[in-house]
Amino acid sequence: MDNIIWPNRPVLIVDFGAQYAQLIARRVREAHVYSEIVRPMSAQELMDFNPAAIIFSGGPESVYAANSVDIDTEVYDLGIPILGICYGAQLIARDLNGVVGKTEKGEYGRTEIHLGSSSKLLGSVLEGDNVWMSHRDHIVSMPPDFRTVAQSDHSPVAAFENDQKLLYGVQFHPEVAHTDHGQEIIKSFLFKVAGCSRNWTSTSVIETAIDQVRSQVGEEKVLCALSGGVDSAVAAALVNRAVGSNLTCVFVDTGLMRQGEAEEVEAAFTRDFKTEFIHINAKDRFFSRLKGVRDPEEKRKIIGELFIRIFEEVANEKVDVKYLVQGTLYPDVVESGPGNASVIKSHHNVGGLPDDMNFELVEPLRRLFKDEVRIVGSELGLSDEIVFRQPFPGPGLAVRIVGEVTPERVGIVRAADAIVLDEIRRAGLERELWQAFAVLADVRSVGVMGDERTYAYPIILRAVTSDDAMTADFARLPYDLLEKIASRVISEVDGVNRVAYDITSKPPGTIEWE
Ligand code: XMP
């Protein structure tokens, strides 16, 4: 799946170790231009991609640090438009004989900029706009023939350009939402400077992915394990469009799914898609293996291994199947090393399927970010319930139950979870939160309901905001919403008499409890 010829020339994001490289790539795609993240490489290697433009990302080092990452300076003579951001801008300035200096005080956070001479890049930016700065060094003077087009109090050169050489730089971060008109700056670079065309659309993504799958698998049979999550569902829907009834979907019901999840997936794939759908009810097998197990890692191991065993049982019956669908996404590919997109990371989306299953992988989402996967899923006709479902861990509700996992305790956490999501949806917050769910603790406390003393479990409510799950913050939910959730959970879910709200961020906590 790797030698994809997308319908347009890519914009390359050269990653100098920036936390924002993926964000830059997403912003470019939001402007309907295809982008790829690559490591710093030679000018010739960059040209092998036939790029329409190049963006240098920021980076953590000073351009004068002994271990600073450099770029092949021949890149400046290729005639390809280049935009340097932060470190990337400083690199252009340094390489072409400008001066980058150390400052006593860096610039961090929202900063006002003041415009200089007229600018192709900053055409939509207004005098006094706020931009997002995050740097220590700054550009003191421009290379010869370059113009300074913006300044700030601490950056004598906040933006520069050389229209003849098609080289541009901004000391600030246009990709960050806190920069006023940041996306307009990126668009000016793409369309006014580089003349890119807007042909990265969901239709072109789908058509290209379908062509790729068809040419990879031909008339062969394909197997797909559906997890209930959006990635495997969209991957299956795409492959189904490509190969029709040569696709078989397998859904292993572990008994650890969210409320309505198994039914929704089955309904989608039996009603709207032409595939053989194998639904395996394995609840009893999972519960019997989990009996008496309290250790989180042991739970994960048992669930992962049993899932594989069951999937193998199906796969072994399908002797004529050669291909296995995986919902690997672009961030997984990038994390295996930018520019190493051909290295298949042993990434397991569904229950940790092993590499030795003798299938060739079909990965139709390998070039897509999560938000693009959702757009493609909607366009392919999957329901909002599936497409906009919040992330869910492979081991399911088992890692949201502290202590032993029994059908009764899964019932409690599932019912509470459904109430949490229902109220979050009613409050219009579902898409603002990364995740919101219920956790069942393993302690009991005293309460009073009616005239009766109770001694029951608490539900812990967990709601977080996050961009990528690497870090997360607890969501500042309104008190009246917290109250509504707590009172519904206690009155509607048997066995619960108290609700607590987890206000730990990640780090030091994790999002899940186990
Ligand atoms: P933690 O708890 O590590 O979770 O902060 C980060 C994100 O990953 C999800 N998660 C998993 N996803 N298989 C998955 O596919 C897993 O085993 C797994 N464990 C955690 C979690 O829901 C959160 O979004």
pTM across the whole model: 0.85
Which atom of ligand 1 lies closest to the CA of 434? 24
| Alpha-carbon distance values, 184 to 121, 122, 125, 273, 341 (Å) | 9, 8, 8, 40, 29
| Domain at 401-501: CATH architecture | 2-Layer Sandwich (3.30)
- Residue 408 bears catalytic tag: no
Q: Omega of the bond prior to 478 within 30 degrees of 0, cis?
A: no
Which pLDDT does position 344 carry in this prediction? 27
Q: How far is CA 299 from the centre of its chain?
A: 26
**Rounded CA separation 276/261 (Å):** 19
Indicate whether 53 pLDDT > 50: yes
* Ligand 1 binding pocket includes 393 (Cβ within 6 Å): yes
List, by residue range, all CATH 3.40.50.880 domains of the chain: 11-193
**Other Cβ atoms within 10 Å of 358 Cβ, number:** 10
**Rounded CA separation 502/510 (Å):** 11
Geometric angle at alpha carbon 323, from 318 and 325, rounded to 5°? 110
> What residues contact 330, with CB distance under 8 A and at least 6 apart?
365, 366, 367, 368, 369
**Rounded CA separation 163/193 (Å):** 8
Contact criterion met (CB below 8 Å) for 179 and 140: no
Which pLDDT does position 331 carry in this prediction? 87
* Ligand 1 binding pocket includes 394 (Cβ within 6 Å): yes
Could you report the per-residue pLDDT of 207-235, keeping only the tens digit for each? 999 999 999 999 999 999 998 889 999 99
Indicate whether 341 pLDDT > 50: no
**pLDDT bracket for residue 40 (50, 70, 90):** very high
Average pLDDT, rounded, for the chain: 91
Contact criterion met (CB below 8 Å) for 455 and 444: yes
Ligand 1: distance of its center to the CA of 335 in Å?
16
Which pLDDT does position 347 carry in this prediction? 35
Which pLDDT does position 342 carry in this prediction? 33
- Residue 305 bears catalytic tag: no
**pLDDT bracket for residue 418 (50, 70, 90):** very high
List, by residue range, all CATH 3.40.50.620 domains of the chain: 217-387
The residue from 36, 107, 161, 175 that is catalytic is 175
**DSSP 8-state symbol, 401:** B
Share of the chain above pLDDT 70, in %: 94
Which pLDDT does position 14 carry in this prediction? 97
CATH of domain 11-193: 3.40.50.880
Closest Cα partner for 326 from 418, 231, 209? 231
Question: Across residues 238-256, what is the average pLDDT?
Answer: 96
Helix 230-243 with 202-217: angle, nearest 10 deg: 70
Could you report the per-residue pLDDT of 74-93, keeping only the tens digit for each? 999 999 999 999 999 999 99
At residue 55, φ and ψ (nearest 5 deg) are -120, 125
Closest Cα partner for 395 from 512, 510, 231? 512
List, by residue range, all CATH 3.30.300.10 domains of the chain: 401-501
Which residues in 282-313 are b (16+ Cβ under 10 Å) and which e?
A: bbebbbebbeebeebeebbebbbebbbebbee
Amino acid at 433: L
Question: Given ligand 1 and candidates 326, 399, 512, 513, which is best to mutate, with the most ligand atoms within 8 Å of its CB?
Answer: 512
**Rounded CA separation 446/444 (Å):** 7
Ligand 1: distance of its center to the CA of 509 in Å?
13
Question: Across residues 378-399, what is the average pLDDT?
Answer: 93
Ligand 1: distance of its center to the CA of 393 in Å?
5
Could you report the per-residue pLDDT of 130-142, keeping only the tens digit for each? 999 998 889 999 9
What's the CATH superfamily of 217-387?
HUPs (3.40.50.620)
Contact criterion met (CB below 8 Å) for 280 and 255: no
Closest Cα partner for 506 from 425, 403, 435? 435
